[in-house]
């Protein structure tokens, strides 16, 4: 079995909120004990709603936020330990595609510069080689060579996202973290970008972490899926297991919430979650999902459920994981 | 609203304020550059008490002063001093302010606290009083004037730079640069600075007008340029006693200051419009 | 009295800009029956939101009504005075927006904002109105309304705020509720609840809904009939089930086919998504003829030159395509 490309072990990122004078300091447990790994060439879908900590998790993986607890290992090297992470090596291993293609490109840089600068920074000195790699990458993401000297505002949203993808791939990383890569795009453009990401994955042997709240997209692209709720992973497993045999009531609520006339009767209205997502500042005791859960019992309030196996490679953090069906 | 219509991009070529402001400033700059050719007499040496205080007329378009020197020529030469004081001191202010603001906003932490505290301190002291104190220590003269004005009003650029950096810091492209392995300084100079240049240029232009006014004020108080060399402020200062008997001595340098500062302010406003990133279309 | 509740006939909305006047919306006609839920679907920039604003009489410069009729309950309101429209809004037609935070007054408790509707439109005293406001909050299932009534908008979560908006909108039992992307800013599980709530309350009060969204699935789930807009024109309108089963316009077909749908992958394996090529045109560069022609897979010469007429579909509805049938 291949070594994992990325392994998170009990990762937690907490923030201190407020000040000592006004109401005291509170701890926001944005990510609270996440254990995950991603193997080379694999696509892990990360699903969750606002406040579940998926964006914080992404920033921690990228080395932009220090973990409070736990470790992050990238390509066999621990990035969060006592040794300072080697940013240059990290850059050549893990890259990121951002959600908003309008804010994620420097408005004062041409496409050529956006792609060529990182190459030069990482020691590609030969001008011809830089040029060749820039042109090659532009072709890969479906941009024409004559567009190299244009500025971001001359492109549409979909084209900008192509530039963002090219930038993420120019250093030939092994893992690309895609943070809601299509949710800011026009509906009719999304399929283009999803297809492109999948083609590039096969062509370049990339591994992805696909963060999305759109279950249709996640099911389409993922090999494995992890579902997050209020800083914790509540269920993870192979995509087919998660979508056809979800064992956590929250996963079922997510699936039930998808408005799709073709899919309407698949999971009954019972599965829908009630009420609102609690604040991560003040999560409910025990299972964080219990106030909204249709299966709530006393044990859910008093005890944290552990993420335990229900089948080969399929784990769920629910006291009733074996009874959900 | 999610479905706002995509407005066609307006091609702003700068409004009237840009053109009027630019015209006024260009005139002042031309006068300064071409002074030896367009001046009628030497502004310092051609004193002739026989011609003292002649009102404006054909021979002396702006009249003459108490020493009989041609005011028009002195204003033209004075533009050199007033403008260079304005430009050089504002460049100092911008360099100090932008460097402090950029680093404070980007790094945050104790450095940010320190710079912000210093900025607030600077804003609390009237900059003219501060400049006056520096001048009192350094003594009058062109160099000390530039130093005094160049060290005392960087707080505006600093505040603007810091605020802009704070809003840009979380933008995707700045994060992307960090992920690509860019160092902090490289990010500040290639990713952040080019995108905050617009408002900084506007502030610098407005600050230049302020510096010219301060120069005039300091010279008027006798702490600026020493006679007999002409600057607009020192000319006003010298004309103080004759303001009722020979008003043209004060009116023309006053008008020179007025139009130049007005021009710089209009130019600043005009630049604000065209430096909006959306309107700087450069097509390849 | 019979006849439709709202009839929009040949609506044209002009956009003044850059020395020229554009038609942001043209030839838009639809009818909404009493108590009927009608959906208007399209991507950003297609003109669906400004169509809603036109119905509300809220168009502001640079937008203006360029022509056509808007008939509410048999009375033409397109030329109604500002005072008349003010009386209609809130009482007969109400609106909810995508981001409730921008539509609520941040300085006033939510109960007071609901009560204001009763005071303003029904001439009630404040005491009675506050009691009614509490009932209204209970109806939209805000927990412990007697306490929430004193809360300010920022103290509520996004979902709760949208419930308050619905309470305000439905306070005076309007005939028509215009909902512009009411759930886009919300999480999926919360979205499902809000949609159910809206549908249920409107059904109970006999309020018709004009639902505006980019999400075809969501609209088709909630509405009986759906119209699809593209670049300022309605390209197709059909019954909700039919629009998924037998989309008639190539654009609708593209939209239906291009999104990964839940359950699709388990049934048929991972298929490449069908893309719609090209980009959404900007208003200043609408193509001649059929506006979808540069992106259409079955484009012919006539599409580039002639604007297609609306053709009735066999069962019910209209399509605007030269190649239909």
List pLDDT tens digits, range C98-117. Answer: 887 788 899 999 999 999 99
Q: Is B278 on the interface with C (CB under 8 A)?
A: no
Mapping DSSP to helix (H, G, I), strand (E, B) and coil, where does residue C90 land? helix
**Taking CB atoms and an 8 Å limit, are B172 and A108 in contact across chains?**
no
Whether residue C296 lies inside any domain: the answer is yes
Whole-structure pTM value: 0.85
Average pLDDT, integer, range B152-169: 91
Whether residue A1 lies inside any domain: the answer is no
Whether residue C322 lies inside any domain: the answer is yes
Whether residue C14 lies inside any domain: the answer is no
Q: What is the pLDDT of residue A308?
A: 87
Nearest residue, CB atoms, B8 vs list C18, C50, C98: C18
Mean pLDDT, chain C, integer? 89
Nearest residue, CB atoms, C49 vs list B3, B7, B8: B3
Residue C243 scores a pLDDT above 50: yes
C145-159 residue pLDDT tens: 888 999 999 888 888
Nearest residue, CB atoms, A167 vs list B176, B181, B278: B176
Residue reference for tokens 């959600």: A99
- In the numeric block, which tokens belong to residue C145? 């309304």
Closest chain A CA to residue B196:
A108
Average pLDDT, integer, range A38-66: 89
Q: What is the pLDDT of residue A265?
A: 45
| C55/C94 Cα distance (integer angstroms) | 10
Residue B92 scores a pLDDT above 90: yes
Nearest Cα of chain C lies from the Cα of A73 at a distance, in angstroms, of 31
Q: How confident is the model at residue C322 (pLDDT cuts 50, 70, 90)?
A: very high
| A179/A210 Cα distance (integer angstroms) | 6
Q: How confident is the model at residue B14 (pLDDT cuts 50, 70, 90)?
A: low
DSSP E strands, A153-206: 175-179
Average pLDDT, integer, range A92-102: 92
Closest chain A CA to residue C265:
A220
| B205/B263 Cα distance (integer angstroms) | 10
Q: Is B281 on the interface with A (CB under 8 A)?
A: yes
Whether residue C293 lies inside any domain: the answer is yes
Go through the domains of chain B in sequence order and give each one's CATH number. Answer: 60-278 (1.10.3720.10)
Chain centre distance of CA B101: 19
Sheet holding C63-72, edge to edge: C20-32, C6-17, C63-72, C75-76
Q: How confident is the model at residue B64 (pLDDT cuts 50, 70, 90)?
A: confident
Average pLDDT, integer, range A184-205: 92
**Taking CB atoms and an 8 Å limit, are A94 and B173 in contact across chains?**
no
Residue A80 scores a pLDDT above 70: no
Nearest Cα of chain B lies from the Cα of C292 at a distance, in angstroms, of 17
Whether residue A274 lies inside any domain: the answer is yes
| B82/B142 Cα distance (integer angstroms) | 10
Give 3-state DSSP helix, strand, coil % of chain A, rounded to 5: 35, 25, 45
Residue A98 scores a pLDDT above 50: yes
Q: What is the pLDDT of residue B13?
A: 52
| A86/B134 Cα distance (integer angstroms) | 48
Selection from B256, B252, B255 nearest residue B79 by Cα: B256
Length of chain B: 284
Whether residue A258 lies inside any domain: the answer is yes
Residue, of C319 and B238, whose pLDDT is higher = C319
Chains that touch A (3 or more CB pairs under 8 A): B, C
Q: Is A239 on the interface with C (CB under 8 A)?
A: yes
Interface predicted TM-score (ipTM) of this complex, two decimals:
0.86
Mapping DSSP to helix (H, G, I), strand (E, B) and coil, where does residue C309 land? coil
- Identify whether the C-beta of residue C70 lies closer than 8 Å to the C-beta of residue C78: yes
Number of helices and strands (H, E) in chain B?
12, 0
Whether residue A282 lies inside any domain: the answer is yes
Least confident stretch, A12-21, B274-283, C43-52, C284-293 = B274-283
Nearest Cα of chain C lies from the Cα of A196 at a distance, in angstroms, of 10
**Taking CB atoms and an 8 Å limit, are B178 and A110 in contact across chains?**
no
The helix (H) or strand (E) run that includes residue C211 is strand C208-213
Whether residue A323 lies inside any domain: the answer is yes
Whether residue A252 lies inside any domain: the answer is yes
Which residues lie closer than 8 Å to B82 by C-beta, 6 or more apart? Answer: B212, B215, B216, B231, B232, B233, B256, B257, B260
| A250/A244 Cα distance (integer angstroms) | 14
Q: How confident is the model at residue B1 (pLDDT cuts 50, 70, 90)?
A: very low
| B200/B161 Cα distance (integer angstroms) | 7
Nearest residue, CB atoms, B179 vs list A91, A108, A151: A91
Whether residue A304 lies inside any domain: the answer is yes
Least confident stretch, A149-158, B32-41, B170-179 = B32-41
Q: How confident is the model at residue A6 (pLDDT cuts 50, 70, 90)?
A: very high
Closest chain C CA to residue B4:
C45
Mean pLDDT, chain B, integer? 83
Average pLDDT, integer, range B217-226: 80
Calculate the alpha carbon distances from C161 to A291, B57, C101, C166 in Å.
19, 75, 7, 9
CA angle C184, C248, C232 (to 5 degrees): 55
Whether residue C104 lies inside any domain: the answer is no
Mapping DSSP to helix (H, G, I), strand (E, B) and coil, where does residue A72 land? strand
Which residues lie closer than 8 Å to A181 by C-beta, 6 or more apart? Answer: A97, A98, A99, A161, A165, A193, A197, A210, A212
**Taking CB atoms and an 8 Å limit, are B6 and C184 in contact across chains?**
no
**Taking CB atoms and an 8 Å limit, are C17 and B1 in contact across chains?**
no
Question: Is the Cα torsion angle A238, A244, A245, A250 positive or negative in sign?
Answer: positive
Cβ-based contacts of C100 with chain B (< 8 Å)? none
Total of domains in chain C:
1
**Taking CB atoms and an 8 Å limit, are B3 and C282 in contact across chains?**
no
Residue numbers of the domain that contains C298? 240-260+274-325
Q: What is the pLDDT of residue A106?
A: 93
Selection from C122, A263, B255, B25 nearest residue C133 by Cα: C122
**Taking CB atoms and an 8 Å limit, are B2 and C184 in contact across chains?**
yes
Q: What is the pLDDT of residue A260?
A: 66
Q: What is the pLDDT of residue A325?
A: 61
Q: How confident is the model at residue A267 (pLDDT cuts 50, 70, 90)?
A: very low
Closest chain A CA to residue B275:
A108
Q: What is the pLDDT of residue C269?
A: 81
Mean pLDDT, chain A, integer? 87
Q: Is A58 on the interface with B (CB under 8 A)?
A: no
Q: What residues pair up with A134 in beta bridges, in sequence order? A: none
Least confident stretch, A62-76, A292-306, B214-228, C45-59 = B214-228
Average pLDDT, integer, range A135-139: 95
Q: What is the pLDDT of residue B269?
A: 81
Q: How confident is the model at residue A170 (pLDDT cuts 50, 70, 90)?
A: very high
Residue numbers of the domain that contains A292? 245-325
**Taking CB atoms and an 8 Å limit, are A194 and C260 in contact across chains?**
yes
Average pLDDT, integer, range C1-21: 86
- Identify whether the C-beta of residue B273 lies closer than 8 Å to the C-beta of residue B15: yes
B19-56 residue pLDDT tens: 888 899 999 999 888 888 887 777 777 767 777 777 77
Q: What is the pLDDT of residue A225?
A: 96
- Identify whether the C-beta of residue A191 lies closer than 8 Å to the C-beta of residue C258: yes
- In the numeric block, which tokens belong to residue A148? 């190299």
Chains that touch B (3 or more CB pairs under 8 A): A, C
A285-322 residue pLDDT tens: 889 999 888 888 888 988 889 888 888 889 999 998 87
Most C CBs within 10 A among A101, A182, A187, hence the mutation to make, goes to A187
| A207/A169 Cα distance (integer angstroms) | 12
Whether residue C234 lies inside any domain: the answer is no
Nearest residue, CB atoms, B5 vs list C45, C97, C98: C45
Q: What is the pLDDT of residue C186?
A: 83
Q: What is the pLDDT of residue B6?
A: 39
Nearest residue, CB atoms, B6 vs list C48, C63, C282: C282
Residue B4 scores a pLDDT above 50: no
Which residues lie closer than 8 Å to C81 by C-beta, 6 or more apart? Answer: none
Q: Please report, rounded to a whole number, the percentage of residues in chain C having pLDDT higher than 70.
A: 99
Whether residue A255 lies inside any domain: the answer is yes
Calculate the alpha carbon distances from A151 to A130, A132, A140, A161, C175 in Å.
19, 20, 19, 13, 49
**Taking CB atoms and an 8 Å limit, are B3 and C46 in contact across chains?**
yes
CA R_g for chain A:
21
Q: Is A275 on the interface with C (CB under 8 A)?
A: yes
Establish, for the pair of chains A and C, how many residue pairs have beta carbons separated by less than 8 Å: 135
Total of domains in chain A:
1
Most B CBs within 10 A among A106, A116, A157, hence the mutation to make, goes to A106
Sheet holding C93-96, edge to edge: C93-96, C176-180, C208-213, C37-41, C225-230, C233-239, C318-319, C311-312
């Amino acid at each position: 079995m291949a070594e994992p490309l990325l392994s998170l072990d009990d990762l937690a990122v907490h923030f201190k909120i407020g000040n000592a004078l006004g109401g005291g300091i509170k701890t926001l447990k944005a990510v609270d004990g996440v254990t995950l790994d991603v193997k080379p060439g694999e696509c892990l879908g990360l699903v969750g709603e606002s406040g579940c900590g998926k964006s914080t998790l992404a920033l921690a993986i990228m080395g932009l936020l220090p973990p409070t607890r736990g470790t992050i290992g990238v390509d066999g090297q621990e990035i969060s330990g006592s040794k300072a992470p080697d940013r240059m090596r990290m850059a050549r291993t893990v890259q990121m595609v951002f959600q908003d293609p309008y804010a994620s490109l420097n408005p004062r840089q041409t496409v050529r510069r956006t792609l060529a600068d990182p190459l030069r920074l990482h020691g590609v000195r030969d001008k011809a080689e830089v040029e060749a790699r820039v042109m090659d990458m532009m072709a890969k993401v479906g941009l024409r060579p004559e567009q190299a000297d244009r500025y971001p505002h001359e492109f549409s949203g979909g084209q900008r996202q192509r530039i963002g993808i090219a930038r993420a791939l120019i250093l030939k990383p092994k893992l690309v973290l895609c943070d809601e890569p299509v949710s800011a795009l026009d509906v009719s453009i999304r399929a283009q970008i999803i297809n492109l990401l999948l083609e590039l994955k096969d062509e370049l042997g990339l591994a992805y972490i696909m963060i999305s709240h759109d279950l249709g997209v996640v099911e389409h692209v993922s090999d494995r899926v992890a579902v997050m709720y209020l800083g914790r992973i509540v269920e993870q497993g192979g995509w087919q297991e998660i979508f056809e045999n979800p064992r956590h009531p929250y996963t079922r609520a997510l699936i039930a919430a998808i408005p799709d006339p073709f899919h309407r009767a698949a999971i009954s209205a019972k599965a829908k979650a009630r009420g609102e997502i609690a604040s991560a500042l003040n999560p409910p005791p025990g299972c964080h999902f219990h106030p909204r859960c249709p299966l709530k019992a006393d044990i859910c309030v008093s005890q944290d459920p552990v993420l335990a196996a229900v089948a080969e490679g399929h784990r769920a953090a629910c006291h009733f994981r074996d009874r959900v069906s | 609203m999610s479905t706002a219509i995509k407005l066609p991009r307006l091609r702003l070529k700068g409004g009237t304020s840009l053109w009027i402001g630019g015209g006024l400033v260009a005139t002042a700059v031309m006068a300064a550059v071409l002074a030896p050719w367009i001046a009628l007499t030497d502004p310092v040496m051609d004193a002739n008490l026989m011609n003292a205080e002649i009102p404006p007329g054909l021979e002396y378009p702006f009249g003459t002063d108490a020493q009989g020197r041609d005011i028009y020529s002195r204003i033209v030469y004075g533009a050199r001093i007033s403008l260079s004081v304005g430009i050089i001191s504002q460049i100092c202010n911008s360099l100090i302010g932008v460097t402090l603001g950029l680093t404070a906003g980007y790094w945050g932490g104790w450095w940010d606290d320190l710079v912000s505290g210093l900025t607030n301190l600077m804003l609390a002291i009237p900059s003219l009083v501060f400049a006056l104190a520096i001048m009192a220590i350094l003594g009058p003269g062109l160099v000390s004037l530039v130093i005094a004005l160049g060290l005392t009003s960087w707080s505006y650029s600093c505040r603007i730079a810091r605020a802009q950096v704070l809003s840009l810091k979380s933008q995707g492209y700045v994060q992307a640069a960090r992920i690509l392995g860019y160092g902090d300084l490289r990010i500040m100079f290639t990713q952040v600075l080019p995108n905050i240049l617009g408002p900084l240029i506007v502030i610098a232009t407005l600050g230049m007008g302020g510096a010219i006014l301060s120069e005039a004020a300091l010279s008027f108080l006798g702490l600026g340029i020493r006679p007999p060399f002409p600057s607009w402020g020192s000319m006003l200062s010298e004309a103080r006693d004759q303001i009722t008997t020979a008003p043209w001595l004060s009116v023309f340098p006053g008008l020179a200051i007025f139009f130049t500062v007005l021009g710089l302010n209009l130019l600043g406003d005009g630049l604000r419009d065209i430096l909006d990133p959306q309107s700087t279309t450069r097509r390849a | 009295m019979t006849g439709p509740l709202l009839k929009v006939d040949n609506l044209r909305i002009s956009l003044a800009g850059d020395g020229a006047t554009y038609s942001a919306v043209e030839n838009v006609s639809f009818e909404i029956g009493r108590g009927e839920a009608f959906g208007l679907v399209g991507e950003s920039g297609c003109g669906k939101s400004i169509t809603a604003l036109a119905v509300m009489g809220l168009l502001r410069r640079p937008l203006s009504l360029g022509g056509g009729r808007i008939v509410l309950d048999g009375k033409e309101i397109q030329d109604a005075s500002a005072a008349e429209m003010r009386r209609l809004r809130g009482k007969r037609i109400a609106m909810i927006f995508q981001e409730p935070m921008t539509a609520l007054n941040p300085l006033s408790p939510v109960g007071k904002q609901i009560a204001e509707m009763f005071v303003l439109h029904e001439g009630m005293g404040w005491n009675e109105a506050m009691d009614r406001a509490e009932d209204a909050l209970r109806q939209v299932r805000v927990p412990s309304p007697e306490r929430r009534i004193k809360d300010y908008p920022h103290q509520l979560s996004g979902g709760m705020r949208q419930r308050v908006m619905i309470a305000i909108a439905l306070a005076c039992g309007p005939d028509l509720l215009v909902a512009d992307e009411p759930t886009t800013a919300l999480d999926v599980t919360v979205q499902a609840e809000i949609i159910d709530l809206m549908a249920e309350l409107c059904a109970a009060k006999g309020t018709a809904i004009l639902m505006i969204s980019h999400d075809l699935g969501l609209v088709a789930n909630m509405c009986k009939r759906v119209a699809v807009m593209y670049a300022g024109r309605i390209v197709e309108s059909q019954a909700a089930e039919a629009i998924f089963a037998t989309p008639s316009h190539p654009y609708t077909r593209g939209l239906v086919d291009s999104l990964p749908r839940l359950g699709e992958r388990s049934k048929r394996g991972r298929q490449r998504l069908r893309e719609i090529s090209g980009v959404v045109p900007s208003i200043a560069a609408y193509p001649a003829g059929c506006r979808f022609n540069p992106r259409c897979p079955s484009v012919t010469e006539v599409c580039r030159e002639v604007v297609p007429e609306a053709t009735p579909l066999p069962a019910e509805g209209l399509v605007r395509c030269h190649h239909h049938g």
